[in-house]
Amino acid sequence: MKPFRYERAEDVSGAVATLAGERTGEYLAGGTNLVDLMKLDIMQPDVLVDVRCLTSGEIEDLPDGGLRIGAAVTNSEVAADARVRSRYPVLSQALLSGASGQLRNLATTGGNLLQRTRCPYFYDTTTPCNKREPGTGCSALEGCNSGHAILGASRHCVATHPSDMAVAMTALDAVVRTQGPAGERETPITALYRLPGQEPERDTTLEHAELITAVDLPALELSSNSRYRKVRERASYAFALVSVAAALQVRDGVVLDARIALGGVAHRPWRARKAEDVLRGAPAIEQSFRAAAEAELADAVPLRDNAYKVPLAANVMTRTLLDLTEGR
């Protein structure tokens, strides 16, 4: 582990100014992922700027009926919040399906969004990895890739995003509020995350020293009828093979509206807009759900070890939408 400096600031502006003045550095919140990565020499920041106590630790009601979650609110607190549980059950379920109780008590909303991939080659500094060391090559492309992407990958990187929370937020059209050297801005979560393209070292569109301060969940009529289904090889404490976050609104047997995002299939939480388009106005029956899933997965490009993810994602999307229809 490379030695680093540890800095604290008085407020968000101070933290941004501090990190903006450094060539390499990271914000430290819960540290549940970053500290591991530093111990393993996967990330080697010169400085850590502690923001744990700088951003909001509150969940506030927004005037339009939405919620604003401060970046420092822990995963446990979001999952347990009564408003989240009733208005956005998909988010509470996603959080509770991730990590362990101990980790959720420490991990923050802002930090969870910025988890790094769990690709084993990224995690092993003795193997080439374009995300860790740009230009060295992607070891997973022709290697052990059962956990890797089937959608939106490039030959430079086939890693997946590990967060469950972010998948639910992607389905919910969350907006990420940030403050950086250039000031404050709001970014739809779907625009926060990148596909790997030729720059897999960049997970997000955040600029250097840009700090997540809060996440806004817009009011959505359908979000109270939502759920998260995570498929994994063991019953707890495992990253998703595939996960589905879905919200569905059905009237008179017809789909009025749907929001669907997939986890474990791409470099970012994958918003399934093609499936949503197929669903709107379609009868709320298994055939429609299956057709929507297949439309979304038509572009899937499986690798050597992960072809199973295509039928798995189709099955889980179909089943989750059926369960939402039938109120199970």
Rounded distance, CA 28 to CA 6, Å?
9
Closest CA to 29 of 8, 58, 43, 14: 8
Residue 56 Cβ, how far from another protein at the closest point, in Å?
30
**Residue nearer to another protein on the CB measure, 50 or 323:** 323
**Residue nearer to another protein on the CB measure, 97 or 108:** 97
Residue 188 Cβ, how far from another protein at the closest point, in Å?
30
Residue 311 Cβ, how far from another protein at the closest point, in Å?
5
Neighbours of 274 (CB within 10 A): 17
**Residue nearer to another protein on the CB measure, 231 or 282:** 231
Please report the DSSP string for 78-147 in residue order.
HHH-HHHHHH-HHHHHHHHTSS-HHHHHH-BHHHHHTPPP--TTTT-TTS--TTTSTTS--SGGGS--TT
**Residue nearer to another protein on the CB measure, 11 or 308:** 308
Please report the DSSP string for 266-309 in residue order.
SSS-EE-HHHHHHHTTSBSSHHHHHHHHHHHHTT----SS-TTH
List the 59-61 sheet strands across, edge first. Answer: 59-61, 67-70, 211-217, 175-180, 183-188
Residue 17 Cβ, how far from another protein at the closest point, in Å?
29
**Residue nearer to another protein on the CB measure, 83 or 118:** 118
**Residue nearer to another protein on the CB measure, 28 or 59:** 28
Rounded distance, CA 188 to CA 173, Å?
7
Binding site for another protein (CB under 8 A): 1-3, 39-41, 118, 120-121, 123-124, 126-127, 139, 142-144, 146, 231-239, 241, 305-306, 308, 311-312, 315-316, 318-319
Residue 41 Cβ, how far from another protein at the closest point, in Å?
6
**Terminal-residue alpha carbon distance, the chain:** 49
Residue 158 Cβ, how far from another protein at the closest point, in Å?
14
Residue 205 Cβ, how far from another protein at the closest point, in Å?
27
Rounded distance, CA 135 to CA 120, Å?
18
Cα angle value 256/219/240 (rounded, 5°):
80
Name 230's bridge partners. 243
**Residue nearer to another protein on the CB measure, 26 or 173:** 26
